[in-house]
Amino acid sequence: MSAFRPALCAAFAAGLLLAAPAAEARFGKRSSGTSDDTGAKKIHAATPIRSSSQDDAPSDTPPPSGDDDDCCDTAPASSPPSYSAHAYGEAVLAGEELLTAALAASHAQALREQRPSPPLDVRLGLNVGAMGGGTAGDVFLGIEGEALGFSIQGTQLTLPTDDGTRGTDDIRLATMHLTYAPVSTDRVRWRLEGGLSTAHAPDVFFVGPSVATSLEVCVAGPLDLEARVQGTAGTYRQVDASAGLALHLGALNVRGGVRGLILDDAGRVDGIQHVDSFVGPYAGVGLAF
């Protein structure tokens, strides 16, 4: 599968966000009235080794004649090795095998210690932007190896109240994901993510399962294209999509782009579905090492 397909998905998701209807009421906040007049929308074997013995060669010379005692002068045949000598030889062979195995294990351990560990990449940063007539700020941290890692991101939304009263509505979002990169080269890195997300609104606190995908593609020199789409379903619904450019100045990164966000409390606050949709620009700085 082409590595640019996730970027197309991110662009498609951003298009959906841009086309999303305006929010009818504040996400996670009780409505000021629940009647229909308020205009609120209701949603319902090896061969053994053996030693050979030499047979006594027959003699062509007949035995000398004489007394029977002369037969005793003949040298007796050599006797087989004793059991103790055989055991000693086996012990020596076993010792040699153990020594060889120990040396091989020591050599393998030395090679493992000399082999360099895969490097860890650390990414952290801060983004700020305008969203929904208010402001949005988020911080993120990612630590990953050649393929596996984890990431944490938190977002603070400070929005004007939806009913015209004085003050602001604060919504805090967070995601905690394990990450896996099926594509990781010098120019392209595509991640799949999964974990949990939370949303803390004025009158409710949600926790739900979360999945995401992100893509970084080197466009030219130090300039990268970045895109990310995250979604939550279950207790509440969330779609968070962003796309932008990042300029790498050594360990320092400067980025900017557009972000869209949809939040839906599924009527779990007061029986009325509250949906907020926001789109706005963002800019930020980060470090990568």
pLDDT tens by residue, 173-228: 999 999 999 999 989 999 999 999 999 998 999 999 999 999 999 999 999 999 99
Break the chain into its structural domains and give their ranges.
5-28+121-283
Q: Would the pLDDT of 56 be above 60? A: no
- Whether 19 shows a pLDDT value over 70: the answer reads no
- Stretch 18-36: mean pLDDT, rounded? 59
Most confident of 10-19, 155-164, 233-242: 233-242
**Residues found in the chain:** 289
pLDDT confidence of 162, banded at 50, 70, 90?
Answer: confident
Residue 63 or 221, more confident: 221
Across 94-98, 227-231, 264-268, least confident range? 94-98
Stretch among 2-11, 130-139, 158-167 having the lowest mean pLDDT? 2-11
Q: What is the model's pLDDT at position 27?
A: 78
Instruction: Copy the structure tokens of residue 120.
Output: 């860890």
- What is the C-alpha to C-alpha distance for residues 195 and 218, in angstroms, rounded to an integer? 27
Quote the pLDDT of residue 117: 58
pLDDT tens-place string over residues 106-161: 666 666 656 555 689 999 999 999 998 999 999 999 999 989 999 999 999 999 98
**Residue 100 binned pLDDT confidence (cut-offs 50, 70, 90):** confident
The pLDDT > 70 percentage for the chain reads: 63
Query: So what's the pLDDT on residue 8?
Result: 47
Question: Looking at residue 111, what is its pLDDT?
Answer: 62
Q: The pTM is what?
A: 0.64
Nearest by Cα to 122 from 254, 283, 251: 251
Residue that wins the pLDDT comparison between 27 and 255:
255
Output the average pLDDT for the chain: 79
User: Residue 14 is which amino acid?
Assistant: A
d(CA 91, CA 114): 35
Q: Is residue 51 pLDDT above 50, yes or no?
A: no
Q: What is the pLDDT of residue 37?
A: 46
Model pLDDT for residues 65-80, shown as the tens digit of each residue: 545 444 445 545 555 5
Task: Answer whether residue 96 shows pLDDT above 50.
Answer: yes
**pLDDT at residue 164, rounded to an integer:** 80
Which has the closest alpha carbon to 134: 112, 114, 156, 116? Answer: 156
What CATH number does the domain located at 5-28+121-283 have?
2.40.128.100
- pLDDT value at residue 155: 97
Residues 26/158, Cβ–Cβ less than 8 Å: no
